[in-house]
Structure 1
Amino acid sequence: MPASLKTEFLGQSFENPFMNASGVHCMSKRELDELKNSGAGSYITKSSTTLSREGNPAPRYHSVPLGSINSMGLPNEGFDYYLDYVLQYQKENPENVPPFFSVAGMSLNENLELLKKIQDSEYRGITELNLSCPNVPGKPQVAYDFEITKEILTKAFEFFKKPLGVKLPPYFDFAHFDIMAKILNEYPLAYVNCINSIGNGLYIDIEREAVVIKPKDGFGGLGGEYVKPTALANVRAFYTRLNPSIRIIGTGGIRTGQDAFEHILCGATMLQVGTELYKEGASIFERLGKELKEIMEKKGYNSIEEFRGKLNNL
């Protein structure tokens, strides 16, 4: 019997757990349509702000041997552009689960206003609140401020009744895992997404003796193979600390079926692909699905739930 990649997430059934990471291959409606027609189980819009943003000056993304470094600065077409897209999708595909919708306000009030617009709209999908953009000059990552995070979630859940997940930055200390998990467990969150890029890395071109991206004097978020161990640690840390009703989306360093298997073994239910999607294009999802199936069949697993979260300790 061939292994099945079918995934249950928030009461919805997906053909497989793979998605794009918000920020990659999702800026335009054309790119979103390419994801719709790819082998991904679902997909997510670019994190949007109220109005369109050009983002940081180029060059702002650079592929490196073990991944990528970027300082994009939240370029996007604006909230209404993506809301129009998901509502049109719902109209044309009434039986399907619509794409996930990502928002990333530049302030507490903007985040709340964006969530109010989603609550008041006909959108019936899953919203992701990005609390972890590390590449906007002068703006700290919200989720590193525990009090502000608690304030946003408290005010959001006073009115927001649709499924809501949050995208988190990487944490590096057990005390921070404990503190954030305690906060998140107070709210009816649908999921947490671990992780966004590791903020403020630096990559040097030795020939030019220079940095490789322009914004922030070359400082940018790291993605790809560099971040997989940190991503796995965050997935595992929150899987073992959060209420079982809060699911985990694993993001960071997924470039092979083995990487996907490891994220699921740590507790992830869905998986998002960023750097490798940027490098390979939307065809990557067919390859990842094939490779994950091969690993599962070799190990005798018929379904993802047979091994999800069952990482062994020594």
Structure 2
Amino acid sequence: MVSTKTSIGAFDFDNCLMNAAGVYCMTRKELEAIESSAAGSFVTKTGTLEARAGNPEPRYSNTDWGSINSMGLPNKGVDYYLDFVTELQEEGGHKNHFLSLVGMSPEETHTILKKVEASNYNGLVELNLSCPNVPGKPQIAYDFETTDAILSEVFSYYTKPLGIKLPPYFDIVHFDQAAAIFNKYPLAFVNSVNSIGNGLVIDDETVVIKPKNGFGGIGGDFIKPTALANVHAFYQRLNPSIKIIGTGGVKSGRDAFEHILCGASMVQIGTALHKEGPAIFERITKELQNIMAEKGYDSIEDFRGKLHYL
């Protein structure tokens, strides 16, 4: 049987598929459902220093082509998720995991990361630099000077495996500028992309979500071309030691195949997971394996990053 195994840094995964932060990861029960599924790993809800209720509801809406959301980082606080992934690590026999986190200010981010640095957790951390749905808070990763300053300070004290979740970029020069910053640091991975920020969906004459007068992050079918472009642009530019997690528009084995073809070592599923539930991982894994078998690929490394050009 063809293998969908993969690795990021020193961490091995039996399957390259996993959830995206924000979907099926708010509670231990949800994370346990991902853990017991065919997914190769899970990432927690992005934890902030204190628990957050998030934006007022309705704040998520499915569409024919995907979804729109303005969640506002609802979560149970970083301690809740840090305790859980540390427990699983100490029990042994579990999958490797990703702890997602961010502060509501650079100072809070450093406070959280120092907490993780001092803890017994030795797994992967995903620093979310890309949440587009907190009113009054910009997406950090669109400010290259601030991103550089944060990463410089983080790596002055943080010694454990760390990656960053990125928003989509839309200009070639921005890929160049962002990659030049990321290549300065010992990042384990970049996760590309988060939702396309500040879209607007209308039903009859009314917006479909409440926060920000209906403005929210776009996910699903529409985002896949942007996600693939971001994955491949960073695959072309980043140090080979910095792996890429591809996220955006994945609802089939073909979608996952294309992310890997563009350079992704792991693939996260968001909108489709929200619609279908954790059983989606078994379905998409089988579809991906069938495509690989048809093409004669034994592992994802046989075709990862090997996109053909005209």
Counterpart of 1:245, as a letter, is S
Q: 1:189 aligns with which of 166, 176, 187?
A: 187
Q: Displacement, 1:300?
A: 0.8
The alignment covers a number of residue pairs equal to 310
SS at match of 2:159: coil
Specify the alignment match of 1:61 in structure 2.
60
Within-5 A mapping of 1:134-213: 134-206=132-204, 209-213=205-209
2:250, 2:256 within 8 Å by CA — same for their partners in 1?
yes
Residue 266 (structure 2) aligns with: 270
Structure 1 residue 248 and structure 2 residue 247: aligned? no
- 1:176 Cα offset (Å): 0.4
Q: In 1, Cα distance between the equivalents of 2:75 and 2:5?
A: 31
Q: Counterparts of 1:161 and 1:136 in 2: how far apart (Å)?
A: 29
* CA deviation map 1:162-193 (0-9, x unaligned): 00000000000001000000000000000000
TM-score in terms of structure 1 length:
0.98
Give the superposition deviation at 1:90: 1.4
Measured after TM superposition, the shift of residue 99 of structure 1 is 1.7
Amino-acid identity (%): 61
- Deviation string 1:238-260 (CA, Å, 9 cap, x unpaired) is 00000011000000000000000
Query: Contact 1:167 / 1:195 at 8 angstroms: preserved in 2?
Result: yes
Q: Deviation per CA, 1:199-225, whole angstroms, max 9, x where unpaired?
A: 00000002xx10000000000000000
1:136 corresponds to which letter in structure 2? V
Q: CA deviation at 1:14?
A: 1.1
Cα deviation, residue 98, structure 1: 3.5
The answer to whether residue 21 in structure 2 is matched with residue 22 in structure 1 is: yes
The structural deviation recorded for 1:11 is: 2.2
Corresponding residue for 1:118? 116
Residues 98-128 of structure 1 deviation map (CA, whole Å, 9 limit, x = unaligned): 4210002111111111111110000010000
Q: Which moved more, 1:4-13 or 1:127-136?
A: 4-13
User: How far 1:97 sits from its partner (Å)?
Assistant: 4.2
Partners of 1:182 and 1:13 lie apart in 2 by 27
Query: What's the CA shift for 1:15?
Result: 1.0
Let me know the Cα RMSD of the aligned residues: 0.8
CA contact (8 A) 1:35 1:43 kept: yes
Aligned to 1:296: 292
Aligned equivalents of 1:97, 1:280: Cα separation in 2: 22
Question: Which of structure 1's runs of 4+ aligned residues deviate more than 3 A?
Answer: 95-98
* Runs (5+) with no aligned partner, structure 2: none
| AA matched with 2:169 | Y
- Confirm or deny: 8 A CA contact 2:163 2:189 kept in the other structure: yes
Q: Distance in 2 between matches of 1:181 and 1:166?
A: 12
**Partner amino acid, structure 2, of 1:115:** L
Alpha-carbon contact 1:98-1:124 (below 8 Å) kept: no
Offset from partner CA, 1:50-78 (integer Å, 9 cap, x none): 11000000000000010000000000000
Distance (whole Å) between structure 2 residues aligned to residue 115 and residue 109 of structure 1 = 10
Residue 127 of structure 1, aligned match among 125, 128, 146? 125
- The 2-side partners of 1:137 and 1:258 are apart by 36
Does structure 2 retain, via aligned residues, the 8 Å contact 1:70–1:222? yes
Report the secondary structure of 2:112's partner residue. Answer: helix
TM-score by length of 2: 0.99
Query: CA shift at 1:29, angstroms?
Result: 0.6
Offset from partner CA, 1:264-285 (integer Å, 9 cap, x none): 0000001110000000000000
CA contact (8 A) 2:202 2:208 kept: yes
Partner of 1:308: 304
Q: Which residue number corresponds to residue 215 of structure 2?
A: 219
Deviation string, structure 1 residues 271-306 (Cα, Å, up to 9, x no partner): 110000000000000001000000000111111100
Shift of 1:8: 2.2
Q: Distance in 1 between matches of 2:215 and 2:4?
A: 38
What is the letter of the counterpart of residue 151 of structure 1?
A
Deviation at 1:13, TM superposition (A): 2.0
Residue 147 of structure 1: SS of its match in structure 2?
helix
On the 8 A contact 2:70/2:216 being kept in 1, the answer is yes
Kept in 1: contact 2:13–2:96 (CA 8 A)? no
> Aligned partners of 1:131, 1:9: CA distance in 2, in Å?
19
Structure 1 range deviating more: 95-104 or 123-132: 95-104
